[in-house]
Structure 1
Amino acid sequence: MQVTKRNGHREPVDLNKIVRAVGRCAKGLHSVDPMRVATRTISGLFDGASTRELDELSIRTAALLTGEEPEYGRLAARLLSAVIEKEVGGHEIHAFSQSVAQGHALGLINPRLLSFVQAHARKLNDSIERSLDREFDYFGLRTLYDRYLLRHPQQRTVIETPQQFFMRIACALSGGEIGEALALYQRLARLEYLPSSPTLFNAGTCHEQLSSCFLLDSPQDSLESIYQRYADVAQLSKFSGGIGLSYTRVRSRGSLIRSTNGLSNGIVPWLKTLDASVAAVNQGGKRKGAACVYLEPWHADVEEFLELRDNTGDEARRTHNLNLANWIPDLFMRRVDADAEWSLFDPKDVPQLTDLWGPEFERAYAAAEAAGLAKRRLGARELYARMMRTLAQTGNGWMTFKDASNRACNQTALAGRTVHLSNLCTEIIEVSSTDETAVCNLGSINLARHVGADGFDFDKLADSVQLAVRQLDRVIDLNFYPIDSARRGNLRWRPVGLGVMGLQDVFFQLRLPFDSEPAKALSTRIAEEIYYQALCASVELAISQGAHPSFAETRAAAGELQFEAWGITPSDPARWQALRERIREHGLRNSLLIAIAPTATIASIAGCCECIEPQISNLFKRETLSGDFLVVNRHLAEELKRLGLWTPEMRDHIKRAEGSIQAIAEIPEALRQIYRTAWELPQKALIDLAAARGAFIDQSQSLNLFIENPNIGQLSSMYMYAWKAGLKTTYYLRSRPATRIAQTTVAATAAVVCSLENPESCEACQ
């Protein structure tokens, strides 16, 4: 038999080459048998097979074995790394500077990056560490290869290796400082910190749209304003922005239109048009637009709004591409708690309500009720139950809290400044107006890579935070802004959103149950340290580059920091007081600093659990462009190996239990507590952890909640508790009936679960 090489030449099959190639990649992996992979690859040979096909067969074979031994995932990653290197350079890898020059020649790389790389070519080339590719597991590297590495526009082959990719990102975000570029490269390449997907997609390219989130205030109640918002959304969707958009100012159904003496059809037809636009502007088929519409619960169209995602009813009044969120004032929740009545209004009659919060809102609302302006009155619990039903049926209609968001926002110190909504994923809390679109640039620290032999490494965390804040601040100046209002808002406030991922991995490594008091204490201390170090970094930037233009108009200028809005006293108050004085003296470069985003895709790259969430399952299916593979929790596998319990029978037992180990008596109770899934944890614990860390998060956090089979009573209590705990926002309600692992045969190595357990397929969470 013969094989076809990449250059088209054919040569006789050399089986030893296959064995040697797999063996080289398996060095240091003590739990894998390279001959199993090599022999299965050889068994798939056929005359004329390409070497690329054989490489892919080896990779798939190793990946399929991951379900029985996690180290096969590392072997699959190394095999894929070898394929990438061959695709980029053939027999000889091009230097980093050569890959950048090639990208520029192909129209992919911008002149600024090319100039920087050429000026420091030798140092940058010498600093590439190819061995760091071994930090990847298979799914992380596969994600990077399939979606992030630059490709030749015609041939569609990749033109950079993973390490060259990280160096490109680091150079693009370095601010022209070679030392900063090399420091950032080390963090990225070691998967200790990653910017958000838009930054990774576009840094150093000819279209540097690096921001993750855009918040558009509601259009004014006019045809011209509504259509301008359509144009804004289309421009932002074109460049992959995740969009939050309020519609609270737009008049309700049945409202008089004086110019025509007709009656308004309300917000639903406008949202139907927006829904079509979001689906249509999809970056040439790469990724559809993603938007979330916010509405306050006093709007007279709120009940129709809550039906927009229903799978039944009039399709002309359904919007399957839009996400929905409720922007809820405290007054509504208090009336729910008291089982009181609630009034619905036409925004045309009460335009002031949108821009008010707290006691001012409540006075204006009561005055509108007293003036007889309500279009309808109903029980507050009746409307709240409808919200819960929408959540239970669709996971959508997110509960976000207007007053908590405004009370604790650094930007709302002056009267008239109002946070009108959050973003697509509910972690951004910024003021917006007709003239200013709020923007945020995101990045996340991989907490799993900050655990050392002596426990969690807070010194390393401090270094990571300082580096990340400097990088995120530079994005503000480098960024391409699709609309002028976004540029104005971002340069005025200079907000950033530093988040985390891998919290669950930290708990696994330190053997802490997710809902334990030590876990809560560690999570809170991590949040406090990140906030403190981020403020320190922002002060240093203010000293060297100046405070953001609106610093004098913020709460921080008066000495008020985030935890004071929560009534919390931080640890070591003396250091906080010293920092407060430095802030008063020098200002802050950034009005906002901390936001915990979902991190679905970048967590896959980093090989850790998503953001602050508990694990979904100890065993689940990963979907990639190359196929579907069963994955096991590597932390659990190592624990069971040490106990001599990692056997085929045990793996079958875990499959039958759909990734749960709670009913497996052979596993010690202490381990069963540590390795509970999100479905097996009390949701009160997730809310308590979020509230404890919330005192040190000046934006918000994407907090999913998990109930296997939700009912209205459970949800009512859960979200009431979240509001009373002081949370600013919550995100998806995850339910499980559609996520079961298929059990046609336990022997099968495939498993079927929904995108919840394959979050990289979620367009809203990138």
Structure 2
Amino acid sequence: MDRLLEREAPAASRDASAPTTMKVRKRNGDLEPVDLNKIVRAIGRSCHDLPHVDAIRVATRTISGLFDGATTKELDALSIQTASSLTTEEPQYSQLAARLLATCIDKEVENQGIHSFSQSIRAGYDLGLVGDRLLAFTEAHRRKLDDAVDPERTDAFEYFGLRTLYDRYLLKHPEARAVIETPQYFFLRIACALAASIHEALTLYGLLSRLEYLPSSPTLFNAGTCREQLSSCFLLDSPADDLAAIYDRYKDVALLSKWSGGIGLAFHRIRSRGSLIQGTNGHSNGIVPWLKTLDASVAAVNQGGKRKGAACIYLEPWHADVEAFLELRDNTGDEAQRTHNLNLAHWIPDLFMRRVEADGAWSLFDPKVVPHLCDLWGEAFEQAYEAAEKEGLFQRQVKARDLYARMMRTLAQTGNGWMCFKDASNRNCNQTAGGGTVHLSNLCTEILEVTDGAETAVCNLGSINLARHVTPEGFDFERLAATVAQVVPSLDRVIDLNLYPIPGTAASNHRWRPIGLGFMGLQDVFFTLGLPFDAPEAQALSTRIAETIQLAALEASCTLAEQHGAHPAFAETRLSKGAFHHEGFGATVSEPERWEALRARILQHGVRNSLMIAIAPTATIASIVGCGECIEPQVSNLYKRETLSGDFIQVNRHLVKALQERGLWTEAFRNRLKQNEGSVQGIEGIPADLQTLYRTAWELPMRALIDLAAARMPFIDQSQSLNLFVESPSIPKLSSMYFHAWKQGLKTTYYLRSRPATRIAKTTVAAFTEAEGIACSLENPEACEACQ
């Protein structure tokens, strides 16, 4: 201990018992001398079950950064920062930093006279933050709820997760800005707000507090408050080609964005540039000026001050303004033709892809001339499209390959212009049997629901943390199924509790009652079980996980239908005829008897929810629970993450553990990993099996990522936010990749992620600080937290 003090501590504090002239100011205003032993004890209390952390090291480094007269609050912040800075050496320091932060949160809450969950709810109610419904539920079950709180579960947090929760999710006093709830009070508040009974509340609290499941951000932001807008995603059909209708739609977008909704908006019906406006005898300027106006509106409505507004615009590639659409996110050119706040996506029919494959011509139409094309898909679309071509109704023709190449160039340059496939999205959608059409997806491309002029599709999301359902011996499918059964009723209940910003959302959501249950932490499962991301065993496991979730969700929804009745539009769905989603893909199942028993139940009772499964991006909620994002491979083994809550060093704890077991986690290796930008490839002395297992997204073949998604697609009745990663994109490479995605039957894809051509200059290893030289990952896009 004395040797450690000599090495770490400044001269004034090398002797833990020696007097010092440095003083700190306590919360009551008194000054007292700095006491290293007292700091060590305070930090040591948070070190249980963390064998690789050193409380004295954190304490001495903390004192070295103190100044005379610093407050105890500043001392706490410095100790947290010190522990966090050691994460690159040992990931357990992240947990220590989180526990130190949790202690500060507890003090902050207690200093306001709050010592129980029920007191927290009462304080929130008195401040106008908590609604009548939650207060009444809490008062009715006060003793059971107060006794249910388990503060020790907060110990499972990592620093990034708890910091995010503290900064952006915990309820705060409107004026003092101090939080009025601890993390465990927060989880219990969400559980009580979503539950129909005390039993459901305690069960859901268990899942949330053990970090096994989290709803999406809008639910976490607003559950139990005075304005319970809990849904994540809103899909708006294209406005009618009319001035008043367009501005009405802008109003809808603003109202939805105000309450933290992520917006998908089709623009298929708006006439193209040069089209005659009969009312004025003038000619239209096309869709670009309208989207420029929308771009400014989206930036102005910043989702209640919590984050930027966000919208994605969908356009079919036969629209005559498609080339101008492709230029909207360019970084150069006329700013009057650019929309930097809107995301862009293509709604592509199979016919276009076949024309590209055959090097054929592609006709571009004014929607005013062919308004029916928007509502058709499959064979009906192809017949109508080809008939319009024969009649010469097109505005002009281009080579399909030239347009496709322009799409690929936009993806390569901006990551935008997402490729989403119209026919695959409609072909097996449970909602399209009655004649409706899926016109678009949502902001993050995982929601596929029928829309029209009267109904705005809505979906509420939640994600299961797969990392908490795996053991070194294997994956626990029974536990996963039990989790699904427990969370489906809470997702369904959001439909009835929700504050609907515009009338069309309520009409759609109550008629179809869709939910979007997804999962995160797939990469953690593969790491725990030692499965490379592209191994056949990994694909089989991923598919079995998706099947288990789909089956358990349908069973739970059928049980809800037995209790409350099927959703009103059940007779218009494929399930009403006994057709399961996976059967449209010809997929085999692992438990055929259980599926057949479920079919019989559904034919008798129906289901409560028309759609069940959607894999959303989970950047923020995955950070809170401390797992990898949704279905994605890791982007790096060591990187700095920049978010609205600050900058955080992230290190792959699975890799660290594997290297520690082999005696390879050394300072020399850490420096080499920084130089290698978080990649273990080519580092001397790293065994081949670890280099294969711990490849990053940039080092994995994208064919494997697409095939993994295609294999689970039969058991995802909506879709999945599938990012694709290409370090140095080129048009031939991207063309081949997206063709493979289409041929594999994927419904949607999401961002194309690429890496900058330049890298941080590396001179000597000694030049690196804890953060320098580490690959930087901007939490991109923050705007897509609607789905998280």
User: TM-score normalised to the size of structure 2?
Assistant: 0.95
1:56-102 deviation per Cα after TM superposition (whole angstroms, max 9, x unaligned): 00000000000011111111111011010011103986110000000
Between the aligned residues of both structures, percent identity stands at 69
2:501 is aligned to: 482
Q: Secondary structure at the match of 1:410?
A: coil
Are 1:231 and 2:251 counterparts? yes
For 1:19 and 1:598, how far apart are their aligned partners in 2?
A: 40
For 2:737 and 2:643, how far apart are their aligned partners in 1?
A: 35
Amino acid at match of 2:229: Q
Count of matched residue pairs: 764
For 2:27 and 2:522, how far apart are their aligned partners in 1?
A: 43
With over 3 angstroms needed to count, the CA separation of the structure-2 counterparts of 1:282 and 1:360, relative to structure 1, is same
For 2:781 and 2:86, how far apart are their aligned partners in 1?
A: 21
Q: Quick one: which of 133, 137, 159 aligns to 2:158? A: 137
With over 3 angstroms needed to count, the CA separation of the structure-2 counterparts of 1:178 and 1:742, relative to structure 1, is farther
Q: Secondary structure at the match of 2:639?
A: strand
**How many angstroms does 1:287 deviate by?**
1.5
Q: Secondary structure at the match of 2:367?
A: coil
With over 3 angstroms needed to count, the CA separation of the structure-2 counterparts of 1:43 and 1:755, relative to structure 1, is closer
1:154 is aligned to: 175
For 1:277-676, what aligned pairs fall within 5 Å after superposition? Answer: 277-283=297-303, 285-415=305-435, 417-623=436-642, 627-676=646-695
**How many angstroms does 1:286 deviate by?**
2.9
1:23 is aligned to: 44
For 1:685 and 1:14, how far apart are their aligned partners in 2?
A: 56
Q: What stretches of structure 2 of length at least 5 have no aligned partner?
A: 1-21
2:12 is aligned to: none
Structure 1 contact 739–753 (Cα < 8 Å) conserved: no
**How many angstroms does 1:739 deviate by?**
8.2
Q: Secondary structure at the match of 2:275?
A: strand
Amino acid at match of 1:311: N
Amino acid at match of 1:346: D
For 1:696-735, what aligned pairs fall within 5 Å after superposition? Answer: 696-735=715-754
Amino acid at match of 1:211: S
Deviates more, 1:280-289 or 1:292-301: 280-289
**How many angstroms does 1:232 deviate by?**
0.2
2:214 is aligned to: 194
**How many angstroms does 1:362 deviate by?**
0.3
Structure 2 contact 355–362 (Cα < 8 Å) conserved: yes
**How many angstroms does 1:548 deviate by?**
0.2
For 1:108 and 1:322, how far apart are their aligned partners in 2?
A: 32
Q: Quick one: which of 117, 136, 147 aligns to 1:96? A: 117
**How many angstroms does 1:40 deviate by?**
1.0
Structure 1 contact 630–751 (Cα < 8 Å) conserved: no
**How many angstroms does 1:627 deviate by?**
5.0
With over 3 angstroms needed to count, the CA separation of the structure-2 counterparts of 1:616 and 1:41, relative to structure 1, is same
Structure 2 contact 641–776 (Cα < 8 Å) conserved: no
Structure 1 contact 683–706 (Cα < 8 Å) conserved: yes
**How many angstroms does 1:566 deviate by?**
1.3
Q: Secondary structure at the match of 1:11?
A: strand
Amino acid at match of 2:129: L
Structure 1 contact 738–754 (Cα < 8 Å) conserved: no
Are 1:122 and 2:156 counterparts? no
Amino acid at match of 2:38: K
Structure 1 contact 621–758 (Cα < 8 Å) conserved: no
Are 1:179 and 2:210 counterparts? no
Structure 2 contact 114–180 (Cα < 8 Å) conserved: no
1:247 is aligned to: 267
With over 3 angstroms needed to count, the CA separation of the structure-2 counterparts of 1:608 and 1:757, relative to structure 1, is farther
For 1:49-60, what aligned pairs fall within 5 Å after superposition? Answer: 49-60=70-81
**How many angstroms does 1:759 deviate by?**
4.6
With over 3 angstroms needed to count, the CA separation of the structure-2 counterparts of 1:194 and 1:493, relative to structure 1, is same
1:167-187 deviation per Cα after TM superposition (whole angstroms, max 9, x unaligned): 000000012x00000000000
Are 1:684 and 2:703 counterparts? yes
For 2:186 and 2:91, how far apart are their aligned partners in 1?
A: 26
Q: Secondary structure at the match of 1:521?
A: helix
Q: Secondary structure at the match of 2:87?
A: helix
2:11 is aligned to: none
Are 1:208 and 2:228 counterparts? yes
Structure 1 contact 658–741 (Cα < 8 Å) conserved: no
Structure 1 contact 707–734 (Cα < 8 Å) conserved: yes
Structure 1 contact 342–379 (Cα < 8 Å) conserved: yes
For 1:277 and 1:759, how far apart are their aligned partners in 2?
A: 21
Amino acid at match of 2:430: N
Structure 2 contact 675–773 (Cα < 8 Å) conserved: no
For 1:490 and 1:448, how far apart are their aligned partners in 2?
A: 31
**How many angstroms does 1:284 deviate by?**
5.1
Structure 1 contact 40–61 (Cα < 8 Å) conserved: yes
**How many angstroms does 1:526 deviate by?**
0.3
**How many angstroms does 1:46 deviate by?**
1.9
Q: Secondary structure at the match of 1:194?
A: strand
For 1:594 and 1:308, how far apart are their aligned partners in 2?
A: 32
Amino acid at match of 1:450: H
Amino acid at match of 1:167: L
Amino acid at match of 1:495: P
**How many angstroms does 1:16 deviate by?**
2.5
For 1:45 and 1:499, how far apart are their aligned partners in 2?
A: 46
**How many angstroms does 1:664 deviate by?**
1.5
For 2:259 and 2:678, how far apart are their aligned partners in 1?
A: 38
Structure 1 contact 742–751 (Cα < 8 Å) conserved: no
**How many angstroms does 1:581 deviate by?**
1.2
Q: Secondary structure at the match of 2:484?
A: helix
User: TM-score normalised to the size of structure 1?
Assistant: 0.98
For 2:555 and 2:297, how far apart are their aligned partners in 1?
A: 42
Structure 1 contact 616–757 (Cα < 8 Å) conserved: no
Q: Quick one: which of 90, 93, 96 aligns to 1:75? A: 96
Amino acid at match of 1:242: G
Q: Secondary structure at the match of 1:66?
A: coil
Structure 2 contact 643–779 (Cα < 8 Å) conserved: no
Amino acid at match of 1:130: P
1:4-31 deviation per Cα after TM superposition (whole angstroms, max 9, x unaligned): 2234343343333211101111122111
Deviates more, 1:617-626 or 1:92-101: 617-626
Q: What stretches of structure 1 of length at least 5 have no aligned partner?
A: none
